[in-house]
Amino acid sequence: METYHDFITMLPTFLLRGGFAIICGGIIGIERERRGKPAGFRTNTLICVGSTLYMLVSDFVIQQLGIAGVDPTRIAAQVVTGIGFLGAGTIIQARGTIMGLTTAAGIWVVAAIGLIVGAGFPWIGLICSFMVLGTMTILHKIEPHLLGKCNFVISKIVFAEDGGRTRGEIANILNEHDLDFSAFNVEQIDNRTSVLNLRYCDKHPSHHRFLAELWRTPGIVEITHLK
């Protein structure tokens, strides 16, 4: 157990780097949270703080406790390995479609930021956080300009009214592709079926991948494409 002197000596370093880790992880986490991603504000913050703590362990062991023969890079390597399992858990293969690659990559980067903050470079970590935030937000906005303008079409999706199961399944599929189910017009045909008028871009494959998932949803009765 550390002495009072060791505690007082280590506390400023811990608070400084830990605080920066919370800020860095939170900056990226807020952007992910606003987009409704599974790894949001708290997850990214905890990942960054956890990675920082692992690096602080090696730093304190070497410098404060004077224990020789400890290689701090080995701890960082284990963090990289461990974060791979967490990233793999965010990648969902649903109905043949792989989702969550950006979330997994974000987790990987946040862990790296935590490591660099824990290694004693908090300002570099903060700059990296804003670089990642800019990559996620700015590229998301300029992507349509890089790939060309979207060509919007409308599809009429007839689905069964089976106690809300199919309706909820459609909402989940659209949410996975950054589409809000409530933003589209839904009309009830009769007591058994309803129709969803879905407007989307059919030019870029990434903008209409959800169609394949909808076709495989049991409660979907018919999908009619309208130009």
Q: Which residue has the tokens 């592709």?
A: 177
Instruction: Provide the pLDDT for residue 69.
Output: 63
* CA distances from residue 88 to 84, 93, 108 in whole angstroms, order as listed: 6, 11, 10
Q: Is the dihedral of CA 182, 167, 177, 29 positive or negative?
A: positive
Asked if residue 93 has pLDDT above 60, the reply is: no
pLDDT score, position 65:
58
pLDDT tens, position by position, 150-186: 778 888 888 888 888 888 888 888 877 777 777 888 8
Per-residue pLDDT reduced to its tens digit, 112-153: 999 889 888 889 989 989 988 888 888 777 766 676 777 788
Q: What is the pLDDT of residues 184-202, one digit of tens each?
A: 888 888 888 888 888 877 7
What average pLDDT is seen over the chain? 80
* Cα 53 to Cα 128: distance, rounded to the nearest angstrom: 18
What is the model's pLDDT at position 24? 92
Between these two residues, 203 and 23, which has the higher pLDDT value? 23
Position 59 scores a pLDDT of 76
Which segment of 137-141, 202-206, 212-216 scores lowest on mean pLDDT?
202-206
Instruction: Write the pLDDT tens digit of every residue in 5-14.
Output: 777 887 888 8
Q: Where does CATH 3.30.70.260 sit in the chain?
A: 152-226
Q: What is the DSSP letter of 102?
A: H
Which candidate, 79, 85, 81, 73, places its Cα nearest to that of 114? 79
Tokens 């809300």 correspond to: 164
Q: Tens digit of pLDDT for each residue in 48-79?
A: 998 998 888 877 777 665 666 667 677 778 88
54 in Cβ contact with 112 (< 8 Å): no
Strand residues in the chain grouped as ranges (E): 92-94, 97-99, 152-160, 185-188, 193-201, 220-226
Burial class from Cβ neighbours inside 10 Å (0-12, 13-18, 19+) for residue 60 reads: middle
User: pTM score, two decimals?
Assistant: 0.64
What is the CATH architecture assignment of 152-226?
A: 2-Layer Sandwich (3.30)
